[in-house]
Structure formats: C-alpha cells, structure tokens
Structure 1
Amino acid sequence: MRQLAHRLDRLGTETAFSVAQAAAAWKAQGNRVYPFHLGDINIPTAPHIVEAMNRAIADGYTGYCPGPGIPQLREALAEDIGSRRGIGLTPDNIVVMPGGKPVITKFLQAVMNPGQEVLYPNPGFPIYESQIEYLGGTSVPYRYLPTESGFAIDLDQVRASITPHTVAIIYNDLQNPISAESTAAEREAVAQLAQEHNLWVLSDEAYFETRYEGVSNSIASLPGMAERTVILYTFSKKFAMTGSRLGCAVAPPEIAKVLSTLNTNDESCTTHYVQWAGIEALRGPQEPVQQMLDVLRERRDAACELVNATPGMHVAVPHSTFYLFPDVTAAMERMGCTEVGDFATAALQQTGVSFCTREHFGRRQPGEERQYIRLAYSGIDVDDIRVGLDRLRQWIESA
C-alpha cells in the first residue's frame, strides 16, 4: 500500500461528531435519544435570509467572486463588527471565508513557522490543537480554574508557558465548551501578556452575540491590540446559518492580504450567493436574532435547573453560548464510574441522553482531578431537555 503523508498522524478532528455517530447508531436500534452532543442549531435560518440567498441564485450570482469576499459584504461586516466592538474597521480589514473554522487554519499558516509554539485553551475547541500540530507547530495548552461563577483562565500558567519560541495565543472569550467569559481584568491581563511578549492573538468570537445577559467585549478593542489581533467571526451561531458556511477574519491589513492569498490557494472564494445572504443577515430585520436568543435562554434555564437538581452534578448559569459544562465527579462516583467515557456510554444506553465529555476538548492536563461533561442545548427543544435531563436525574438518583 502506498504511504500517506506523515503529517496526517498529527491531524485531529472535531470529536463531537464521533459522539453524534454513536448516538445515531443507538437511535437506529429503535432507542430514543436526547441530543445534547453537537452544537448545531435546530432553529431554521430566518426566511428573509433564505429568500436573499435564493434571489441571488436566481440573479446569477453563482460564479467566482473576489477571494477576500464581495465588496458589499466586506463593507457591511466592517460596519457591523466595528460598531459592536468600538473599533474602526474598513473593508481592508475583512477577509470572508467559508465559515469561522478556516480562520483558525489560515491564521496559523500566516503567523506560525514549524517548531514555533502557540498557546491555546484546554478544554477548548479541538481544532485549535489539531491545526497547530498538523501545521508543524508546538501546541501549548493553558487551563481554566473553576470558580463560583464558572471558570477563569489560569493566568499564572499562561505566564509560565510563554517562551522565546511562543508566537501566538488563541483566546476564546465566551468559550466553547465551558461557556467561560473573561472579566475585564482577565481580558486586560491576556492583552498585557500579548504585548509584553510580542504575540499574535487569535480572538475566537463565534459566540460574541449569543448571550442572554450583559454586554460582550473584544480584546481587539483594548489599547495596542487591534494591530496584533485577528478576530474569528461567524454567521453560524448568531444567524442559525451553520450549514451555509459563512464567516470572516477581521485582521490588520497586512495580515488580511496574506489571508486573502490563502483563500485564493485553498478555495478560490467563498460561495457567491451565500455572501448576499450574509448582507441581508447583517442589514435586514434583526427580530429573528432576538427570538432565537429567547428560545435559547429558555433552554438554558431549563437545563441548568435540572442539572443542579441532579445528585452529584453542578453547573454555574452561563451568560452566553449554548453550552453547559457541569462537574459530574460526584455523580460518577455514585454510579461507580471511574472513566467519564464509560459514564457517557452508560447514560446514553440507560437514559437516551447523549453528550460529549471533557476528553472531547483536548488532552487532559496534569493535575486535573474533576470530571466534566458538555451539554449543548442548541439542537434540542425545551420539552425534550426537561424529559431527557429528568431521566438522567432519576437514573443517578436510583443508584
């Protein structure tokens, strides 16, 4: 058999999809499944956005278009993203991409040489670790510490992890999977470290506007940060456009030019007619955005109530994203489980509740003793949340 490239050994994946396969197999056997595993959204894209996409197809916007995106969308993105973050942007700062995920890869291609180090959150979105290592870099994880209100970055660990080989830090405020949100002091501390050590910053802001209380803030708006920060922006979460694959990088112009060239090399351009839908999403009626947030808030509240009513499980109520990351250490002990993967399998087979675990979001770090699972409530209706999590509660109570 012919050999494949050695770098494939370093390529990871988004492991939530493997949980989805296990849940689908269990469902195919005739079992009921309550899907908390995948951060997809079971709320349709708003009709006016779909109509704009269909209209663009009918009008013939089905061919190639500029690599960095059509000018009209780049202008709309610069205006919207800049105004919401209090920073001045022009279309030269915007590079449209097929979703937010390509921003991670192209950022690393632009700023990291093989052998250089990149700090990334762990637990965190698994594609960070996968792409750093696939591209020949050294992935350096930093952890979060549990607090009464959720989780906080271990800033001492971040400081201790920076070396002369460190070139960048990936920072995910409003974080997947743990829903952590930085305080102003924490955000400023990360910014100070980036400036002290001359680091690039990838600010993953996929959930910037998926929030139920408070106001989001971007690290790029802090003094001295705009020129060293690339923002990951996506239409997937805010506008329920996960399958449309539309996002962008917000970058200093010199990096934006590099990202645009990478676009041309990788996919030529982002789908033309989808970009016209993006313009309508940004400039059209915004009521569907608020309506979706109202639905998600109801789901969050129901899920938090039931999780915290379950013996051995606890979670702080997050103000953003659509994930819960409860501590299940005591619940696992009650069930006689030592491995969180075994706990997840037993839960699926005994209750139908399907979820990811801490192990799906990066390699466990030394000293981690607590056990966690991730519950995504974006793809499950509130009535099924109540039924599923109540079945989980009864199962654990009966042990």
Structure 2
Amino acid sequence: MRPYADRMARLGTETAFVVLGEVKKLEAQGKSVVSFCIGEPDFDTPANIREAAKQALDEGFTHYGPSAGLPDFRKICADYLNQTRRNVRYAPEEIVVTPGAKPLVFFGMLAMINEGDEVIYPNPGYPIYESMINFVGATPVPLPLLEEREFVFDVAALKRLITGKTRMIILNSPQNPCGGVISRDDLAEVAKIVREHDLWVLSDEVYSRILYEGEFESISQFEGMKERMILIDGHSKTFAMTGWRLGYGAMNTELVEKIARLMTNSVSCTTTFIQIAGKEAYLGQQEETAKMVARFKRRRDMIVDGLNEIPGVRCLRPKGSFYVFPNVTEVCRRKGFADSKALQDYLLYDVGVAALSRSFFGHKNIGEDQEYLRFSYATSEENIQEGLRRMKQALV
C-alpha cells in the first residue's frame, strides 16, 4: 500500500471524543459510567429554534447557499456582535458562516499561517489549536496557563515568547479546559503587543455567554484589532446546538474572501435551514439560555465544593465556560498513580467516572510538575452527585 501524506502524522485529534468512545463501549458491556468527558450542554435546543428549522424545511430552504453564508444571517450575526462586544462595529460583509466554530480554527490557520511561522497558543488549551499549528507546518509555542494566576496567562510571559517568526496569538476566554477569563486590562496589553509586532489574533469566544461574573471582554474592542483578527463565535454552547453545526467568524473583508474560498473548496456552504434556525436563536426569546447558564453556575458550585472535599484534590472556582480543572497531584502521589492519565484510566475503568487528563490539552510546559484532570459539568446535578460519591469512596 502506498504511504499516506506526511502531513497526516502531524494532525492530532480531540481526545474528549476518544474517551467518549470508551464510555460507550463500557456502557454497551452493561457497566455504569458517569461521564464528565464531553463539552456539550445536556439541555435540548430551545423549542422556538427547533420550530424555526422545521418551518424553514417546509419553506424549501434545502438548497445551496452562498459559501460565506446567507446575507440576512450574516447581518444578524454582525448585529449581535455589535450589541455584545464593546467599541466595535462589524458589517455583514465581514462575517463568514461555517458548519460549527471549529472550521474557523482550521481555515484560519490555512489562510494566515505559513510553514516555519510560530503561533503562540494557550497551554493547557483546546487541543485543536496545537493540532492545526502542527498540521500547517508551523511551530507551536505554548503560553502557560498557571493555577496560581487562576489559569490566565502572564502578559510578561507572552512578551518573552515573541520572536521574529511569531505570526499569530490564539486567545480563548472563557477558556477550555480551565475556565479562566482574561481581564480587560490584560487584553489591552495584548493588543499593544499585537500592534507593535504586526501579528494576527485568533480569538475563540464561543463561551462568551457562559460567564458567571462581570461582563464579557473581547480584544476586538481595542484600536487596530478588528483588522488583524478572526473573532470566532457560534451557537453550539450558547443555545445547546452542538449537533446542528453552526458557527461564524468576523474578520476583514479580504480575509472573508479567502475563508469563503476555503469553504467553497471543502464543504461548499453551511446548511441553509440551519442558518434560518440560527436567526431565530438570536432574534427570539433568550430566557432558555439564561436559565441554562444559571443551572451551569449551580453545577459549578456543586462540583467545585465536592471536589475540594476529596483529600488531595484542590479545585479553583472558574469564572466561565462549563469546565473545572482540579489539581490532583497529591492524589496521584498518595495513591501511586504515575500521572493524571493513569488516574483518568483508574477512574474510568475501576470507578466508573469519565474525566480527561491534563495531557489531552497540550504537552506539559517546561518545569510543569503538577497533575490535573478536566471535568465538564455540562451534565445533570444527579450525575455530578453520583460521580462525586464514587470518587470520594475510591480516593480517600
């Protein structure tokens, strides 16, 4: 058999889905597993959005649409950003609609990054960042997120990482997997660095509505940022629409043309009737999203308090997203686990609790000697209570 393309060896994966596959295998064998591995709201998509999709189907929205998205939906997305981001104005022509937010990470790297460039990304971070940097032949430069800073990077550390090869900085706030939120002051400092070194920014803001205190802050609000960034948002998390695959990016019109061309060459367009449903998500009632976020906050407090009751576990209370990232270093040492991956396997196969190891979110930073697990609390309060009960019994 002829060998595969060399680039495929550089492409990683999203390991949450790998663990989810193991959960399904165990459940098929009759085993009970409480899963905290997947970052997906367990709520149904609101009824008004579902009805809008049904109506769109009946009205014939089943054909191709423009690669950049339906014009009226692009306008609604631009209007939404203009209402929710400070000091920035987007036009419909500056929006590209994609099947989910993730393609914008893929397309953004393809459009803006050359082989040999350096891309600075948060670590631990969403695994697709590191995967795609490697895939396009660039050099991933990890920016450590430290527990002592509530998992928000140090701007001084960012400055030290800038070289003549730096091309892009990736931001994610609220953040996956740690739940950290970048302050306005820090974003202002990052904006200065970006302008000084003429860099691109990829700002992943898909958790912007899942915030438990304060107001959401975007780097787009600062002078000169709109022209040199892709702002990524979408419907999956905010409206419990993960399976619908609907996201969009805001960027300068020259880059819109390039991303739209990548859409044409890959998936042609985003499904039209789903864009109609996306319109309803923004224009219709918002009560279900507010209720969902309130439920997430209660779950956050429940899981944080419960984890901190387990000897050897230390867990910060995140300000956003629906993940916790407890420090399990003492548990690993006391129970004889080599690292968090070994603890993850023990919890899954022996205890019936599925979480994700820190190793799934980027290679460890130089000098990093702590162990962490990620738990998604996008699951029921009953599941959280049962998962905590099992862990307490197994890890005392």
TM-score normalized by the length of structure 2: 0.97
SS in 1 for 2:152: strand
Mapping of residues 56-95 of structure 1, within 5 Å: 56-86=56-86, 87-95=88-96
Paired AA for residue 270 in structure 2: T
Show the counterpart of 1:102: 103
Aligned partners of 1:309 and 1:115: how far apart in 2? 47
Match of residue 15 from structure 1: 15
Equivalent in the alignment of 2:325: 325
Determine if contact 1:69/1:269 at 8 Å carries over to the other structure. yes
Matched, 1:295 2:300: no
- Sequence identity, in percent? 38
Tell me what 2:143 maps to: 142
How many equivalent residue pairs?
395
SS of the residue corresponding to residue 344 of structure 1 reads: helix
Aligned mates of 1:252, 1:208 — CA distance in 2: 21
The answer to whether the Cα contact below 8 Å between 2:341 and 2:358 also exists between their aligned partners in 1 is no
Structure 1 residue 355: Cα displacement? 0.3
Tell me, yes or no, if the aligned pair for 2:121 and 2:140 is still in contact at 8 Å: yes
Could you tell me how far 1:235 is from its partner in structure 2? 0.5
1:305 and 2:305 correspond? yes
How many Å apart are 1:337 and its aligned residue?
Answer: 1.0
* 1:383 to 2:393 alignment: no
What is the CA distance between 1:72 and its match in structure 2?
A: 1.1
Gap regions ≥5 residues in structure 1: none
**Deviations along 1:127-162, whole A, 9 cap, x unmatched?**
1111111112111111112226x2220333322221
Counterpart of 2:151 in 1: which secondary structure? strand
The separation in 2 between residues aligned to 1:194 and 1:179, in whole angstroms, is 24
Once the two structures are superposed, residues 355-392 of structure 1 have per-residue CA deviations (whole angstroms, 9 ceiling, x without a partner) of 001001111122110100000011x2101101111220
CA contact (8 A) 2:183 2:217 kept: no
Q: CA-to-partner distance for each residue in 1:258-292, whole Å, 9 max, x for gaps?
A: 11121111111100100000000000111111111
CA contact (8 A) 2:168 2:199 kept: yes
1:33 aligns to what? 33
Quote the Cα distance in structure 2 between the aligned partners of 1:247 and 1:79: 15
**Matches of 1:348 and 1:264 in 2, distance apart?**
42
Show the counterpart of 2:162: 162
Asked if 1 retains the 8 angstrom alpha-carbon contact of 2:120 and 2:142, the reply is yes
Contact 1:153 1:186 in 2 (8 A): no
Structure 1 residues 308-317 or 369-378, which shifts more?
Answer: 308-317
Counterpart of 1:384 in structure 2: which amino acid? N
Cα RMSD for the two superposed structures: 1.2
Runs of 4+ in 1 over 4 A off after TM superposition: none
Question: 1-side partners of 2:18 and 2:72: how far apart?
Answer: 38
Shift of 1:212: 2.1
Greater alpha carbon shift after TM alignment, 154-163 vs 353-362: 154-163
- Which structure 2 residue ranges, 5 or more long, are not aligned? none
Give 1:193-212 correspondences, 5 Å limit: 193-212=193-212
2:391 aligned partner, one-letter code? L
Q: Hey, what's the Cα distance between the residues in 2 that align with 1:368 and 1:23?
A: 29
- What's 2:394 paired with? 395
- Mapped contact 1:114–1:135 kept (Cα < 8 A): yes
Distance between the aligned counterparts of 1:321 and 1:48, measured in 2?
24
* Residues in 1 aligned to 2:245 and 2:152: alpha-carbon distance in whole angstroms: 31
Q: Distance in 1 between matches of 2:293 and 2:353?
A: 23
Aligned-residue offset at 1:105: 1.1
Answering whether residue 390 of structure 2 is matched by residue 374 of structure 1, we say no
Deviations 1:155-196 (A, max 9, x none): 333222211111111111211001111122221221111111
CA contact under 8 A between 1:334 and 1:396: conserved in structure 2?
no
Task: Please say if 1:126 is aligned against 2:118.
Answer: no
Q: Which amino acid aligns with 1:126?
A: P
In the TM superposition, residue 2 of structure 1 has moved relative to its aligned partner by 1.5
- In structure 1, C-alpha distance between the alignment counterparts of 2:27 and 2:208, rounded to whole Å: 34
TM superposition shift of 1:224? 2.1
Q: CA deviation at 1:36?
A: 0.3
Corresponding letter in the other structure for 2:136 = L
Find the aligned partners of 2:9 and 2:314 in 1 and give their Cα distance. 37
The correspondence of residues 254-269 of structure 1 with structure 2, limited to 5 A, is: 254-269=254-269
Tell me which amino acid in the other structure corresponds to 2:390.
R
Is 1:361 equivalent to 2:357 in the alignment? no
SS in 1 for 2:104: helix
